[in-house]
Chains A and B, each alone.
Chain A
């Protein structure tokens, strides 16, 4: 199992929760800060989750391409 997959999923979910709370949470979500921390940091968390998911998928695609070529299909196994 590629750990990047669950990390990606977790942070996508957490980022979504934070952003939604930042937008709809009202006063409780704003706190005493002069800017919407939940919204902006939620976006950062979400982006990180998206990046992890992207790399996990890319690795999985490369893996399955390697497996499907099998033996004798002419593609280099040393890759």
Chain B
């Protein structure tokens, strides 16, 4: 009999041969795709930019899959159990509007300027030092993100199947290395598309089976109305901080819905890169909007199982939340649910989907890293004037280095446990000031190079200061906030209800300071680029893309509006 063994440290499983077979088939395909693409990957343009030849549905699915790494599957199921439907804010508020905005308003400049990366756009719009600042901070951020992704994967496999942690890191790294070195960005993006479908087929049945077990949607509502009515609403408790996230509605709208999400989706090169390599302007602009469609529905796949898991727990029969030292261990929600419901075979499919998502999350970061390293750091400094074959070689070295550095970071990440907060903390530091810079740079002519650079430096510094003097109630002063206050032996100046609230406000402070400093310095010192120099880089000086030849429903503004209407409906329905 195949029985799950629940241990105090979490969950562990015994895989059958069929599960290993499914895993092996998937890995063989991923590596096979890399080798099949080898002959299409001979120039640096093909390696870093897929030769700008991919259709919109491929770039669109890769766009959301690139983000489906460590953050999502485990973290969202965990938040679903912990916070309930409020977790959907990360989708309907924290992703969809930003994705539509990127497609409709920002892609004309990103794609039209033929910049090969986000930092390169900054170089064209502002100057070399703004690009350098963004390149280095981005390089550090991608390595840490992919390191966290690797760590979560190795840790999960270690706990679930009992494989050695280091061995897991090495095996997954070698597979990623093989297909990225062979097929470059194209094979990373093709694998992301493959992974998207793996997740749909591997994880989606869980939500359905779990719902069935609790008596359908009505059964879930009936149960939660008694035990945790908060969990059924996304907005109802947000007039104050008396809700699961500890954030008011305006904190959610500004912090998550505007600063964090626009900062992440519109400026993070690991995402934007997927749209930049589409085959034409229409496909580039549709990329994030096509991605937004499945993204909107993903809460049903990733959050719902967590919600059901919470509702099922407590009656002493059937599924129970795993615990650690007497408190619920939310990060184990998804694996324990899979284990509880799936027989072997399906379990292999789900586990493969999990591994696929972590690996492609890592690969997405590594492919963004090698591009930024080669084009924005190497070619703009010591590698000036090198030929194409040299740059291609450099890109491959950067890939190897990126993966080794990620592994090193994975060992560092092993000391932390709340992945989501750390990732968002990093994004709060890096992306919020960057988004303020882009907003002014893309939509006003007045923002100058001096304003942009000063704004970025002071905004990032302000974020550090705020982080150093604020902390969440649940955390003592220290690395997670308030370290400066602790250093000076003072109480924290700001105390927030939850870590999430702290992250939202951190991002908002970083954004506002950057925005104001940029604006003031630019206005005082005056413009340093003419309208002609800014043509194609600033919205008002960029010719509007012609879209009359496209089918009406596929025009970015039309498709984007439709997506927004559905997102608003979802917010209203799950109020």
Contacts and interface: CB of A to CB of B under 8 A. Distances in A.
Interface string A1-36: 101001101110110011001100101111111000
Contact of B33 (A6, A13, A14, A27): A6
B343 A18 contact: no
Interface string A28-60: 111111000110011011001000000000000
Nearest to B26: A10
A76 B2 CA distance: 61
Say what secondary structure dominates the interface of chain A: helix
A41 B343 contact: no
A67 B343 CA distance: 48
B343 A33 contact: yes
B22 A14 contact: yes
A28 B40 contact: no
Contacts of A31: 2, 341-344, 346
Contacts of A14: 22, 25-26, 201, 349
Interface stretch (B189-197, B278-286, B357-365): B189-197
A33 B25 contact: no
Contacts of B201: 11, 14, 41, 44-45, 48
Interface string B1-42: 110000000000000101001100110010011001100100
A32 B318 CA distance: 11
B223 to A, nearest CB: 20
Interface of A: 1, 3, 6-7, 9-11, 13-14, 17-18, 21-22, 25, 27-33, 37-38, 41-42, 44-45, 48
A9 B193 CA distance: 14
B37 to A, nearest CB: 6
A6 B345 CA distance: 21
Say what secondary structure dominates the interface of chain B: helix
B205 interface: yes
Interface in B42-101: 58
Contact of A6 (B21, B194, B343): B194
Contacts of A30: 343
Nearest to A21: B345
A77 B194 CA distance: 32
A38 B22 contact: no
- Interface residue range, chain B: 20 to 34
A39 to B, nearest CB: 9
B205 A10 contact: no
A25 B344 contact: yes
A18 B349 contact: yes
A3 B190 CA distance: 6
Contacts of B209: 33, 37
B357 to A, nearest CB: 16
Nearest to B341: A33
A18 B346 contact: yes
A44 B2 CA distance: 24
Interface in B347-375: 349
A79 B25 CA distance: 38
Contacts of A1: 33, 36-37, 40, 190
A22 B349 CA distance: 13
A78 to B, nearest CB: 12
A10 B30 CA distance: 10
Contacts of B33: 1, 6
Given A17-B18, A41-B346, 4 more contacts: A6-B33, A7-B194, A11-B201, A38-B345
Contacts of A7: 193-194, 197
A11 B197 contact: yes
Contacts of B1: 27
A17 B25 contact: yes
Contact of A28 (B16, B190, B349): B16
Contact of A29 (B37, B205, B345, B349): B345
Nearest to B19: A21
A10 B341 CA distance: 24
B209 to A, nearest CB: 7
Contacts of B32: 6
A38 B346 contact: yes
Nearest to B55: A3
B21 A38 contact: no
Nearest to A31: B343
A16 to B, nearest CB: 10
A37 B201 CA distance: 12
24 contacts: A3-B58, A6-B36, A7-B193, A11-B197, A11-B201, A14-B22, A14-B26, A14-B201, A17-B18, A17-B345, A18-B22, A18-B349, A21-B345, A25-B345, A27-B2, A31-B2, A32-B343, A33-B209, A33-B343, A38-B343, A38-B346, A41-B205, A42-B345, A44-B201
A76 B1 CA distance: 64
B193 A10 contact: no
Interface string B284-303: 00000000000000000000
Contact of B194 (A10, A18, A21, A45): A10
Contacts of A28: 2, 16, 343-344
Contacts of A38: 343, 345-346
Nearest 3 A/B pairs, CB to CB:
A31-B343, A21-B345, A38-B345
Contacts of A13: 25
B291 to A, nearest CB: 16
B328 to A, nearest CB: 23
B205 A37 contact: yes
